Amino acid sequence: MDIHVLQQIVHETRDARRKQTMPKLSEAERDALIEKYHPDFRESAYRTIKFGPNEGEKTVRELAALLEGDSPVPADLELTPTHTCDVLVVGGGGAGCAAALHAHAQGAKVLFATKLRLGDSNTVMAQGGIQISVTAEDSPVTHFLDTLKGGHMKNDHALLKVMVEEGPSVAQWLLDLGVLFDRDADGNLHVKKGGGSSKPRLLTCSDYTGLEIMRVLKDEVLNQKIQMLEFAAAVELLSDGNGRCTGAVLRDLDNKRFIVVAAKTVVLATGGIGRLHIQGFPTSNHYGATGDGLTMAYRMGAKLMHIDTFQYHPSGAVYPEQLVGALVTEGIRSEGGHLVNAKGERFVNELDTRDVVSSSIIRECEEGRGIRTMAGRVGVWLDTPLLDAEQGPGTIEKHFPAMVMQYDRFGVDISKDPVLIYPTLHYQNGGVQIDTNGESGVANLFVAGEASGGLHGRNRLMGNSLLDLMVYGKRSGLTAAARAKAEPQGKLTLEHLKRFRTEARKHHAADVVSPMLFPAYAKKE
């Protein structure tokens, strides 16, 4: 059927829906819904990890295979360093930039390596905003409790307290660098309410918050003349033979040669795993989101946590086909956009946490109340025109220019027509276990941002990722720089890799090389 005919039900039911309030679910109802429909609970998608620091624990099959995978680095690689530095930062997104800038500001010699270009990351796409408690009716403690609730009470309290308490000073740091957050008429920072939060505390730069932050951080990295190695992917860490991290092996993506880096400390800011397409889900993630940091840290002996839980963002585009997986920002729901099934009904409080909203969309679709496409996809409507109806014509265009442009390129006017959405693989809730300085279980190996775990519990709250990047990027950068001042460079060995390979042989690990670096999209016959 023509899409406009199918969309009629959304237009017809709009006025009736506007009068309706959707109740929030009780704790028990939330748990029941998630356990029945959330992809984290699809047992067949999981398996036990055979060996290593997380032996016996479960994760998704795609990740388990990579964790048990073999390094591309030969055991007899000549380990004469090409580069020597105090702090090696791996990963050119928000956490990497923050770590590099803060370490550099302490006088550390920083080498900043990334497998694509500086800034090519998920950070640049973050549209929803950054959660920081700045208003009188809000407090860091309330932010703490909101996050804990969203994370199903599984968050590491120490990590979380640090994040919410350092939020305001991080906002000041970004302002001092020139980030242009939206303001109220009185000059104060404008705040919006995010899904799962009891108070409005999202700071935004229209719907380009991540882009604005990255433009500024990238520019500052270049101003500071921090040494960059672009198109250089980290593929293995180096150890001193006694469990301390002493550097890394990178691969030059042009000539495929290994680059040996001697570093007193290493910060992994390698992001998440969307491009593994767990359970066949499309993803909102950037091209390089293949969990490289997890596999390297794991081989080195760092324990991972919460790696059985992933965030499926409720509103990934399903139509048109070219936009599949791309995000439709949560901001639309924050501003009152309804989710509507094929019968024209709302079915969830749109501002509940992401896991609850995603589970409810999957329920609607599995129970036959979804709208299908001929490409074999299914979804529900997000009533975008409602925003103009509620707040006046032009609201969508003014508040969501990025969204409008994205759809406009394919001839869809989201201010006039609702969009079809379904959950998309968005975020790795867990990662490498860290302490409040960002240090992993391996001495001198720091992990910041999405690659780290514990902070967000089993479900990250909207707007907490950008804050995580800035706070733990900073702390890991500062601590790594201080450590580098206090300690000499350790020797460079692959002892950890030899041990790992012995284990792998014992467990007959499959013939997989990790990190994956990029998804294999190019069609080869």
Partner 1 sequence: MDMADRNISTKDVIDQEEVLHPRMVTVEIAGKKHQVPEGIAMLKALWYTGQEVIRGVGCLGGFCGACATYYRTKDDPKVKTCLACQTAVHDGMSFSMMPPFPARKATYDLATLADPKQDLFNLYPEAPLCRNCNACTEACPQKIDVREGVWRAVFGDFKAVSEMFMDCVMCGMCAPVCIADIAPSLVAVYVSRAQGVHFTEKPVRLAQRIKEIEDGRFNDEWARVLKMNEQELTKACAELK
Per-position b or e across 406-443, b if 16+ CB within 10 A of its CB: bbeeeebebbebbbbbbbbbbbbbbbbbbbbebbbbbb
- Is there a contact between 106 and 475 (Cβ–Cβ < 8 Å)? no
> With respect to partner 1, which residue has the nearer C-beta, 175 or 510?
175
| Integer Cα distance of 360 and 195 in angstroms | 15
- Residue 241 phi/psi, 5-degree rounding, is 90, -15
| CA–CA separation, 470 and 39 (whole Å) | 29
Taking the alpha carbons of 134, 137, 140, 146 in that order, is the dihedral positive or negative?
negative
How far apart (Å, rounded) are the C-alpha atoms in residues 53 and 51?
A: 7
Measured over the CA atoms of residue 148, residue 153, residue 156 and residue 161, the dihedral's sign is positive
C-beta closer to partner 1: residue 35 or 55: 35
CB 168 within 8 A of CB 505: no
Q: Where is 203: in which H helix or E strand?
A: strand 202-203
14 is a catalytic site residue: no
The secondary structure of residue 323, as a DSSP letter, is G
Name the residue among 510, 505, 188, 209 with its Cα closest to residue 330. 209
Shortest approach of partner 1 to residue 139 CB, angstroms?
Answer: 6
In whole angstroms, give the CA distance from residue 32 to residue 38. Answer: 10
Cβ closest to partner 1, residue 117 vs residue 485:
117
Q: How many residues belong to the chain? A: 525
* Catalytic one of 152, 244, 333, 354: 333
Paired tokens of 514: 């990790």
What's the closest the beta carbon of residue 133 comes to partner 1, in angstroms?
A: 7
Is the CB of residue 237 less than 8 Å from the CB of residue 247? yes
Residue 62 contacts residue 276 (beta carbons within 8 Å): yes
Looking at the Cβ atoms of 59 and 429, the one nearer to partner 1 is: 429
Instruction: Specify the residue, 53 or 423, whose C-beta has the smaller distance to partner 1.
Output: 423
Tokens representing 166? 């350092």
How many Cβ atoms sit within 10 Å of the Cβ of residue 11? 17
Question: 333: part of which helix (H) or strand (E)?
Answer: helix 331-334
Distance of closest approach, residue 55 Cβ to partner 1, in angstroms: 27
CA distances in angstroms from 354 to 26, 243, 284, 302, 396, listed in the order given: 15, 38, 14, 29, 22
Least Å distance, CB 226 to partner 1, is 11
Q: Which is nearer to partner 1, 218 or 491 (CB)?
A: 218
DSSP 69-122: PBPSS-TT-----SEEEEEEEE--SHHHHHHHHHHHHTT--EEEE-SS-TT-SS
Residues 6+ apart with CB under 8 A from 444: 244, 245, 246, 264, 265, 266, 480, 483, 487, 490
Q: Which listed residue (201, 299, 313, 458) is catalytic?
A: 313
CA 384/CA 317 separation, integer angstroms: 13
Catalytic annotation on 313?
yes
Helix (H, G, I), strand (E, B) or coil at 341: coil
Q: Just list the catalytic residues.
A: 313, 333
